[in-house]
Amino acid sequence: MSNLSDKAQQAVEKMKVLLVEDDELLAESLAELLDDAGYRTDIAPSMRLAAALWASEDYTLVILDLGLPDGTGLSLLADWRKTKWSVPILILTARDSWMEKVEGLRAGADDYVTKPYHEEELLARLQALLRRQVHAFSTLLEVNDIRLDEARQQFSLAHQEWQTLTSTEFRLLR
């Protein structure tokens, strides 16, 4: 990602991604790609684990496979959207018919990429989703002299240097 501007790279840093993928080798490879690009990645190989992580963590983005061992990713996606969860969701699947793509997008996916995929294209699509998300709402909260950047999970006191928070610190401060 050396061709990204410094500002774009900073926006990527500390973004937390939920990767819902049951293929262990693919999940590890993709998590490594995302980690190298500055994302923090949690892997969920099943709907059950994905739902548990969703309930306990704050994610900036989800990459969702449709074929999972305990159900379909589409039903998980529909459940998430019913709760008004607005996090961008990119479907990454081997299912490549136009009808399946339409079904995924209508179920609430923000983008749909078929396997096999090119790594640079996938990263560019994630950046596009995040760019649209950043423009949709402000991720900066301010109370008195405390500023909290939700997108980067950082805080600043009295407009001093930004400090990175752990997930627990971030949730408590927010």
Q: What pLDDT, in 10s, does the model give residues 113-154?
A: 999 999 999 999 998 898 877 544 456 777 888 888 776 778
pLDDT at 15: 83
Rounded Cα–Cα distance for residues 89 and 126 (Å): 9
In a shared domain, residues 126 and 153: no
In a shared domain, residues 62 and 89: yes
Q: Is residue 1 assigned to a domain? A: no
114: CATH: 3.40.50.2300
Q: Is residue 34 assigned to a domain? A: yes
Rounded Cα–Cα distance for residues 17 and 35 (Å): 10
Virtual CA dihedral for 20, 167, 122, 89, nearest 10 degrees?
60
Instruction: Give alpha helix (H) positions in 4-72.
Output: 6-12, 24-36, 47-56
In a shared domain, residues 123 and 151: no
Entry pTM: 0.70
Domain ranges, residue 49: 6-136
pLDDT at 8: 45
In a shared domain, residues 36 and 109: yes
Q: Is residue 79 assigned to a domain? A: yes
In a shared domain, residues 169 and 117: no
The residue type at 66? L
In a shared domain, residues 96 and 156: no
In a shared domain, residues 106 and 159: no
In a shared domain, residues 151 and 128: no
In a shared domain, residues 126 and 167: no
pLDDT band (50, 70, 90) for residue 75: very high
In a shared domain, residues 34 and 96: yes
